Chains A and B, each alone.
Chain A
């Protein structure tokens, strides 16, 4: 099976080349036979990538240590679930995993459009096959997971302990599903540019794919934050690490696109801008992968250490140049009638929202790449860390939060003063009252105060919109509140799904602000000793040590400390934190010791325990009180849920009636329709 897998990867390479060549030729010569052959080539390519993946999974599950990748990332005693997830635990496997997802998406996009968008599809299939060709070629020539060792070790090195976490089994696939989905809109954009079909047709085809990408990126990013929080032990969930930044970049431009697409749909404006955003989102995915895979961020000199880095850099430059040339050649076709009735209109608000989103993307990219730039220009290494990113991005984030509330309340085309007064009075009052109340309660930090005030304002706009919609349905149809709410959302998925996403954003921002009040305590405790701490809410906590203990688990030695916490005298469940030394099946240590933190989750705060070290029978412990962290996860899930509602396809009956202003009652639709 392993040999079959290896051979399949080579055949997939040929299939991609075949599909790209015939699809482009078919599109150019308008020959249906070539187009169909190109599509079948893509389906076959997908099939062979699946076979190659099955081959690698077989090698992982059977612990075939003659394969370098298996020996490097698994050991005989690794739990089965992590043998499966080791597929994306290392570079070569994650490249194949990328190929698998891309091939699946490309085949799906071709199949879904087998009757639609036929003028675009040869170019879409060709572009997707070309992108897939690049990834398969990089996997085969630069990072082959089937590479054999000259000798067969008795056991493998095992999977990095920090990757032995349920979140890590799910987080990379979700992130990859998001990253890779950006390739499909890119394919449509290239096709639209080549065929000069730059009206709303291609946008309709890519909107759902952009949403697929957005939802998976959202889930992937939030799950990554959760993994970092529970696994890395430094007490936070976002460090502006280049890997994190790489995932945020396409999310930001993708979000901008999902807003600006509405302006083109409603008004026919912004053709150039939308093409640019689609292309930029894909290129940022590639750039992000290049940044994280090449080692270029550690130093410009370490770039040469990774063959994959060269491949990605070349592909990125080629794709960028080709796209710029194509856009330049189609500038005339991208001209669109642009008129704006008033500066205060939803169009203008969405455009400013785009400006802020792209501005944040630029600042994140700039901060990520600035160390490289500095080393090039001055020959001096510098670090651009959390404080830089926070200084630049927090004000922009607040501006974005404000626009999240402002945009949806302003009418399309022109908003009158009366309209603005009516729409904003309630939410603005709510924001001011919330900020004032917090000030009176003693909160003086500017950014948290602004964040919570704005969050209350935006929450007010969302509640107001729902309340109006529900009220209208109750009046018209006499429905109860639950039914009216469900039907309101179901009948206007884009609008109210979008509001749910905004509600998730509000919760997320409010939770971020909570971390400004985190408290840290470093203590050293022997068994039976206690320490007291005051949390950010002014409550008194006591932690009593139950002492250190050692034991052996499945594939590791464990040193653990247990604390018995009480809050205001009320006992709470025991908290433990561990240091683990993983070992292979021969008892040899693998990797550096890792930390397992203890977390007591409450809605108002997490109590976060880290065993930092041990001196004799004394445990060195760090205790953090992290306010509102649980709400980060709630907000993230709500955002993804809202995205799913927006993305959910309309029922067949509604789809048939699309384009009609009035909806026919079921009994009015003839049976023959």
Chain B
């Protein structure tokens, strides 16, 4: 058992040696490569009087999906702590969540506590308030405006096509009168059939 612990210590020690290395950072794109172990700040709140947990285990895990790990990776606390062996930030943040849950705080109160300590960067998605609404609304607005503009444009093009069609068959229809037994309806049907063929 001792040997195993030493191995784990060596692994973590190796990480330290790497951080201290002076050869400069690699540009690896994956998450969790730029760990900032000093990024952790305790989120401490006194337990409520007669505190009982307001949050179930499943709700707690879901809540941790909404809190971003501050180690420098792009993962949430739950994913990071269950993935990254070397991250000491996400387990520490998890312990804060556990303490707050045990202290009788609700999900929203826990989120607010993290935001107070770290700022909005503690959340995996911005709060729906103030300027942040621009983030949520802009894609929908752009798409709606685009949709309306496109519909107006298509209607305009259709009106042009109808105008052109109204002018084009004028001559044949006039001649149609000279064709015995051919009605205007039949000519229009023929015209439509030819267009569909084209």
A residues apposed to B, CB below 8 Å: 71-73, 89-91, 94, 157, 159-160, 162-163, 228, 231-235, 239, 241, 243, 269, 292-293, 338-343, 348, 351-352, 355-356, 358-359, 362-363, 366-367, 370, 373-374, 377-378, 380-388, 391-392, 396, 411, 413-414, 416, 520, 522, 548, 550, 557, 559, 579, 581, 583, 588-593, 595, 610-614, 616-617, 622
Contact of A232 among B5, B31, B135, B138 (CB under 8 A): B31
- When chains A and B are docked, how far (Å) is the Cα of A110 from the Cα of B85? 52
Q: Residue of A at shortest CB range from B5?
A: A616
User: Which residues of B have CB within 8 Å of A342?
Assistant: 158
Give the distance in Å from the alpha carbon of A73 to the alpha carbon of B161 in the complex.
62
Check A359 against B146 for contact (C-beta < 8 Å). Answer: yes
A358 adjacent to B146 (CB under 8 Å): yes
Report if A160-B11 is in contact (Cβ < 8 Å); known contacts: A374-B132, A622-B83: no
List B residues 77-94 near A (Cβ within 8 Å): 79-86
Minimal Cβ-Cβ distance residue in B for A416: B196
Q: Give the complex CA separation of A612 and B81 in angstroms.
A: 8
**B196 contacts A162, C-beta separation under 8 Å:** no
6 closest cross-chain pairs (CB), A and B:
A589-B14, A363-B139, A385-B124, A339-B161, A340-B157, A359-B143
Closest to B82 in A: A622
Residues on the A chain within 8 Å of B65, using CB: 387
Which residues of chain B have C-beta atoms less than 8 A from A411's C-beta?
196
In the complex the two chains form, is B142's CB within 8 Å of A233's CB? no
B side interface size, CB within 8 A: 73
Min Cβ gap B169→A in Å is 14
Q: For A338, give the chain B residue with the smallest CB separation.
A: B157
Partner of B79, one of A234, A340, A362, A383: A234
C-alpha gap A241/B33 in the complex (Å): 13
A384 and B160 CA atoms in complex are apart in Å by 45
Main secondary structure of the interface of A (DSSP, over half): mixed
Q: Give A583 to B18 CA distance when docked, in angstroms.
A: 10
**B15 at interface by CB-CB < 8 Å:** yes
Are B138 and A231 in contact, with the CB atoms below 8 A? Answer: no
Which of B4, B7, B14, B26 has its CB near the most chain A CB atoms (within 10 A)?
B26
Contacts of A378 in B (CB 8 A): 130-131
Q: Determine whether the beta carbon of B146 is less than 8 Å from that of A243.
A: no
Task: Flag if B26 contacts A348 (CB, 8 Å).
Answer: no
B24 within 8 A of A: yes
Given contacts A559-B7, A590-B18, A614-B8, 8 further A-B contacts (CB under 8 A): A232-B83, A359-B143, A387-B66, A396-B143, A557-B10, A581-B14, A589-B18, A593-B12
Known: A384-B135, A559-B11. A614 touches B147 (CB 8 A): no
Given the complex of chains A and B, what is the CA–CA distance between A581 and B18 in angstroms?
A: 11
Q: Separation in Å of the A465 CB from the closest CB of chain B?
A: 19
> Are the C-beta atoms of B74 and A241 separated by less than 8 Å?
yes
> Interface code B29-70, partner A: CB below 8 Å = 1, 0 otherwise?
111110100000000000000000000000000000110100
User: A90, B26: Cβ atoms under 8 Å?
Assistant: yes
Contact B7 A239 (CB under 8 A): no
B198 pairs with A380, CB closer than 8 A: no
Q: A residues within 8 A CB of B123?
A: 382-383
